[in-house]
Amino acid sequence: MLRIFLLGLVFGIALTMGEIISWFRIQEMFYFESFHMFGVIGGAMAVGMLFNLAARRFKWGTESGAPLDIHQYTTGWKRYIYGGTVFGMGWAVTGACPGPLFITLGAGYWPILVAIFGALLGTFLYGLLMKHLPH
């Protein structure tokens, strides 16, 4: 658990030092007025891809010998495009995706608590309505 905490610590430091938690950076991103956010996400994706390719090639497993728990998303497209669009709308408003929601709190911008409460409320609403939504 200490290692997990430290990985979270690194993630929080990296996203703060990289200004990813700044509302301004998100506004810039959605107007394509800076490469910064695309560089961060694209860079993480590219290096992650190299890791995944190497893991497949060299059959890396977890430290306990199990296969890596790679995300295997169910097929279909509706939940991804609809849910993704709703999330994107919220991202442009709050300037924070779920990681930065919490990191921003750590950085001392207390009103983000309202957005965190909103995100929990939104999650709860999804749980109530999911049976009636296309997936």
Partner 1 sequence: MHTFDPWPWQVVGPLIAGVMSSLLLIGKRFGLSSNLRTMCSIAGANRFSDYFKMDWKSQSWNLVFVLGTIAGGAVARFALLKPGPVIINPKTALRLRAWGIDDAGTSFAPDILFGPEAWSNPAALAFLLIGGVLVGFGTRWANGCTSGHAISGLSAFQWPSLIAVAGFLLGGLIVAHLILPLLIPLL
Q: Show contacts with partner 1 in window 43-62 (CB under 8 A).
A: 43-49, 51-52, 55, 60, 62
Residue 1 has which token pair? 């658990």
> Is 57 or 63 the residue whose CB approaches partner 1 more closely?
63
User: Restricting to residues 57-116, which ones interact with partner 1 according to CB under 8 A?
Assistant: 60, 62-64, 66, 68-77, 79-99, 101-112, 114-116
Residue 118 has which token pair? 């909103």
Task: Give me the least distance between CB of 32 and partner 1, in Å please.
Answer: 9
- Phi and psi based region of residue 32 (left: phi greater than 0; alpha: psi -120 to 50; beta: remaining): left
Task: Give me the least distance between CB of 38 and partner 1, in Å please.
Answer: 8
> Is 6 or 57 the residue whose CB approaches partner 1 more closely?
6
> Is 1 or 57 the residue whose CB approaches partner 1 more closely?
1
Is 43 buried (19+), middle (13-18) or exposed (0-12) by CB count in 10 A? Answer: exposed
Task: Give me the least distance between CB of 25 and partner 1, in Å please.
Answer: 6
Run of H or E residues at 92: helix 78-94
Task: Give me the least distance between CB of 54 and partner 1, in Å please.
Answer: 9
Residue 111 has which token pair? 């009103």
Residues present in the chain in total: 135
